[in-house]
Amino acid sequence: MIDKLRIKPLLITVIIVCAAFSALELYLWQTNKVIVVADGKNIVVRPKGKTVGDVLKQAGISIGKEDLVVPKINENFPKRGLIHLTRVTTKEIFIEKELPSENIWEKKYSANLRPIKLIKQLKKTRHSKVKVTYYDEVENTREILSENIITRTLNLLALLNPDGSIENTYNLSDSKKIKMIATAYYPGDPLAWKDGTITRLGNKMQQGIVAVDPRVIPLRTRVYVPGYGYGYAGDTGSAIKGKRIDLGVDNAVEEKHWMHKKVTVYILEKANTW
């Protein structure tokens, strides 16, 4: 009976001592732990080394050359608190931005079918090489490494409405063009007409209507010929085959000017009306 009474206090003592050691262990863990915030995770570390670098190595975290660590990697780790690692990456990108264009010359013409305006324009584009820095995959800063302005001269044709507003603008610099041999014809031309002056599309012949081979230039195509001006493919002819174009003019005097001339024909677009 006596032995049993002695054993009970001893057991209680052992339990108290174990609890005390456990509490001490928990206290030591809590007071010495460090939380490493990196790569979207919170990693709890009980440091064994002395520096922040030791803690990161213990946590199995590698550090890139550009990465940022707070506190710094060679400093002693904080007894309580955080170590924050920010992944830093960079990328070079190229950016093109169009700048406001400048018209350096323009002239209006109204001889053929409808008024047009020829425009010489300076088109400017800024080309930039930029270094982009990302913090944890989120863009942080941009640095311009190099920059230059590319200038290009454009030849434009603006098709005007009767009120002077622009219906459409064509970039002649990029338009399809065909080298052709030109001739000319006029209303009442005895070589071009048997009866009357009605074109293949049923329009009255006038300056600006041109005859084409539809296999080369489809009917109802808007065209431009330097020196002649705006034209509309509205007619055909038995002698107009291949890369031949017959330019509609006002009279026989103008016809002679275009006989068998080499011309460049710019193809603008196909349209139901001129």
Residue 141 region by backbone torsions, left for phi larger than 0, else alpha for psi between -120 and 50, else beta: beta
CA–CA separation, 263 and 151 (whole Å): 28
pLDDT at 139: 97
Q: Is 0.75 topped by the overall pTM? A: no
Q: In the prediction, which pLDDT does 251 show?
A: 92
pLDDT of residue 97: 96
Torsion-angle region of 214 (φ positive above 0: left; ψ -120 to 50: alpha; else: beta): alpha
pLDDT in the model for residue 20:
56
The segments of the chain whose pLDDT lies below 70 read 1-14, 17-31, 79-80, 193-196
- Domains of the chain with CATH codes: 32-86 (3.10.20), 91-160 (2.20.230), 175-270 (2.40.40.10)
Specify the pLDDT at position 72: 94
* pLDDT value at residue 26: 55
pLDDT at residue 108, as a whole number: 96
Residue count (the chain): 274
What's the pLDDT at 78?
A: 75
H-helix or E-strand spanning residue 26: helix 2-32
Cis peptide before 218 (omega within 30 of 0): no
